[in-house]
Structure 1
Amino acid sequence: MQLSHNTILITGGTSGIGLAFAKEFKQRDNTVIICGRREDKLEQIMLQHPGIITHVCDVADEKQREELVEWLVTNYPDVNVLINNAGIQLDTDLTNPCNLDRVRAEIETNLVAPIHLSSLMAPHLRDKNGAAIINISSGLAFAPLAFMPVYCATKAAIHSISLSLRHQLKDTHVKVFEIAPPSVDTELGHDRREDKDQSHGGIPVDEFLAGAIEALQNDVYEAAIGQAQQLREKREELFEMMNK
């Protein structure tokens, strides 16, 4: 994948991995557009990182996704890269009646939104040089943590969707990447923490980013970064260890 002179949309770009991608690609002479739910965070990013373009959008909402793509292709018709990064991570006890609103929110954000956005963008991307769809999955797609079963299932589905989408676009110029992070030090999963400002733990974002950029640069279409590689290769063994 070419890493400069693109026009890139990044979902979930207000923090963590999404914001790290935005800053990295901006430094590499790309036009970078991020979207997120929090208008205050987007305004703060515009002030701190001049040149990053922002747009308010809750990707869990079907209508807002459609409006986002319409706005995007109208105002930035050169857009040629979609990074499906937005995600939420919730714990779910399947041994008792679960809160279906939380389950639906997790599935809509983590799975339905990337499917829908990819399908909306694919006809536009087919005509663009250097086009790419980059799906952010997780090492937990391969060896899940049992206390967050819905999150892990959505990431396993993103792995499967990426395979199918890559096959469907094989006769076009659109490259389809799957980047599977390990545990990365971001705010992901703050819902289950008493201190909402506490981070997730895991490797530094910059360490993950270096591995992801290397994979994109070398056209590694399925890249498990760091410990995510072990989760993919030793899934049964590590599942038992992780869930003791």
Structure 2
Amino acid sequence: MDIRGKVALVTGGTDGIGLCIARLLKEKGASVIVCGRRANLLESATAEGLEAIEADLSSLAGVKALVDAMKGRTLDILVNNAGAGVDFDLGEQIDLDAVDRTIFLNLDAPIRLTALLVPRLRERPQAAIVNVTSGLAIAPRAGGPVYCATKAGLRSFTKAIRYQLRGSNITVIEALPPVVDTAMTAARSGSKMKPEQCAAQIVTAIERDSEEANVGMVKLLKLVHSMSPRLAEAIMIRF
């Protein structure tokens, strides 16, 4: 896909990987709309020349607000990037309301946005849906069962709609990042990929009409998993 002149919507596009994707798409000539829920970050995105829409996608009301804001708008690229982690330790008290919000944000919201915005994408000569999952969609870690479950669910959803949309004008891309240095991973130690590097590989996948963007160390994880799923799971469960 030639990104020049395209209109892109990036959810969770006011910080982290999403903001880096939005910046790069804009740099390559796209008109970019981002959504988020924090006023200061929305203002910063606007100052960079991005169009910003306030929407909290952890609720049905937030999804409706975003879809309503997109009514009558051209759309070529939908990047379902918004996501979050949540604590879930069976040895401690669990905030199930927070769990529900996370499941909605990570899985329900991209499913709903895809369903509601695909008619807009079908109207364009060439379009793309990019679902940002995770290397943890391939093999889970014990420390993040809900996050891993939602990303695995989004991975399955992505594969299924890709088959449904085969032969159409819409390319369906799954982006699988490794651990990236963002606010969500601030408490984690160890090696982290820079969000700019992650975004660059995702945008390259859009340009190449690739079905998957296996980012950074996820390439190695995919290789190990192809040879021995049990080994990949044994490695990642303790990650």
TM-score (normalised: structure 1): 0.89
**How far apart are the structure 2 equivalents of 1:135 and 1:187?**
20
Q: CA deviation at 1:199?
A: 9.0
SS at match of 1:146: coil
Query: Do the aligned partners of residues 97 and 233 (structure 1) sit closer, same or farther apart at CA in structure 2, a change above 3 Å counting?
Result: farther
Q: CA deviation at 1:114?
A: 0.2
1:241 alignment partner in structure 2: 235
1:58 alignment partner in structure 2: 56
Unaligned runs of 5+ in 2: none
Unaligned runs of 5+ in 1: none
1:41 partner letter: L
2:202 alignment partner in structure 1: 212
Q: Superposition pairs for residues 89-104 of structure 1, below 5 Å?
A: 89-95=85-91, 98-104=94-100
Q: 1:203 aligns with which of 171, 193, 199?
A: 193
Q: Superposition pairs for residues 181-196 of structure 1, below 5 Å?
A: 181-189=177-185, 193=187
2:192 partner letter: G
Q: CA deviation at 1:176?
A: 0.8
**Residue deviations 1:133-154 (CA, integer Å, cap 9, x gap):** 1100000111211110010111
Q: CA deviation at 1:200?
A: 8.8
**Residue deviations 1:146-199 (CA, integer Å, cap 9, x gap):** 110010111111110001111122242111110100111111245xx4xxxx99
Q: CA deviation at 1:243?
A: 3.7
1:128 alignment partner in structure 2: 124
1:40 alignment partner in structure 2: 40
Does the CA contact (< 8 Å) of 2:21 and 2:200 recur in 1?
Answer: no
1:57 partner letter: A
Query: Do the aligned partners of residues 185 and 84 (structure 1) sit closer, same or farther apart at CA in structure 2, a change above 3 Å counting?
Result: same
**How far apart are the structure 2 equivalents of 1:39 and 1:173?**
35
Q: 1:163 aligns with which of 150, 155, 159?
A: 159
1:119 alignment partner in structure 2: 115
Does the CA contact (< 8 Å) of 1:188 and 1:199 recur in 2?
Answer: no
**How far apart are the structure 1 equivalents of 2:237 and 2:81?**
26
Does the CA contact (< 8 Å) of 1:8 and 1:31 recur in 2?
Answer: yes
Does the CA contact (< 8 Å) of 1:81 and 1:133 recur in 2?
Answer: yes
2:133 partner letter: S
Query: Do the aligned partners of residues 121 and 150 (structure 1) sit closer, same or farther apart at CA in structure 2, a change above 3 Å counting?
Result: same
Q: Number of aligned pairs?
A: 234
**How far apart are the structure 1 equivalents of 2:3 and 2:99?**
36
**Residue deviations 1:68-91 (CA, integer Å, cap 9, x gap):** 1122133xx221211000000123
Does the CA contact (< 8 Å) of 1:140 and 1:228 recur in 2?
Answer: no
**How far apart are the structure 1 equivalents of 2:106 and 2:194?**
22
Does the CA contact (< 8 Å) of 1:187 and 1:199 recur in 2?
Answer: no
**How far apart are the structure 2 equivalents of 1:34 and 1:83?**
10
Q: Superposition pairs for residues 65-84 of structure 1, below 5 Å?
A: 65-74=63-72, 77-84=73-80
1:105 alignment partner in structure 2: 101
User: Structure 1 runs of 4+ off > 6 angstroms?
Assistant: none
Q: CA deviation at 1:65?
A: 1.1
1:138 alignment partner in structure 2: 134
2:66 partner letter: L
RMSD, aligned CA: 1.9
Q: CA deviation at 1:37?
A: 0.7
2:222 alignment partner in structure 1: 232
SS at match of 1:129: coil
**How far apart are the structure 1 equivalents of 2:195 and 2:222?**
20
